[in-house]
Structure 1
């Protein structure tokens, strides 16, 4: 299975950028990429040995929506991006990358609902178990049934 190439933390890269004598120096020395959300989704799917149908089932999102995101026709909102991360069996680090590539805010441990989601990801919960925790603790679930 493919694995995520080891990447420097954003803070390390920012320090290197700010200490560079020119932007060209930084761009020549650092692996600056143009990774797309769809590329990342397929990478994670392959790395975890999943098919799109597996991802659809695990997310609870309408299949058409998932296929549109995978094809690049649409971008997921934040909750759908989090649900996709659960469907792709992402780690916390992978989830944060997925959220960044989706153009939505990352999970933030100072926000109650996000803290619950982070804890659930870290402890191996799936999307359904995470929704149960969110509901139990009085927070909006990822899959809205209204």
Structure 2
């Protein structure tokens, strides 16, 4: 995926044939599901599901249900998983998008705090501390 979303959107708006649009931009599509990407990220992390569940303040059975696509996570649950997996902001935002949620938006202070915490390798508990300090609801709830 080398093209910016805006560039791809421009090409789509000017396309006269959807098949040729797909063909000419075949490498630009992200057809993974949230569940597939989550499975890959867990495997790549080398961590146990128990460890991820503990660090993300999520029950281990809930993670198993997510991996089997039996549950749909909330936006905060996806963010908690990002902390549990120690994801980069970019990967966390990709996971959010695939789950059907908005990226961390820098113009929202709560999202800015979470983005800062992920960028700086803070734990979920440390992120909660910042959220409390600035009067926002914690994420580990």
User: 1:21 matched to which residue of 2?
Assistant: 16
Q: TM-score, normalised by structure 2?
A: 0.89
Please state how far the C-alpha of 1:33 moved relative to its aligned partner: 4.1
1:95-114 matched pairs, under 5 angstroms: 95-114=92-111
Aligned equivalents of 2:22, 2:66: Cα separation in 1: 30
When residues 58 and 9 of structure 1 are mapped into structure 2, their CA distance, relative to the original with a 3 A threshold, is: farther
Aligned equivalents of 1:52, 1:10: Cα separation in 2: 33
Q: TM-score, normalised by structure 1?
A: 0.86
CA shift digits 1:31-75 (9 cap, x unpaired): 334211111002212232222222111101122222111111011
SS of 2:32's equivalent in the other structure is: coil
Question: Do residues 80 (structure 1) and 77 (structure 2) align?
Answer: yes
Deviates more, 1:6-15 or 1:17-26: 6-15
Structure 2: unaligned runs, 5 residues or longer: none
CA shift digits 1:19-42 (9 cap, x unpaired): 433211111122334211111002
Aligned equivalents of 1:79, 1:49: Cα separation in 2: 23
How many pairs are equivalent? 139
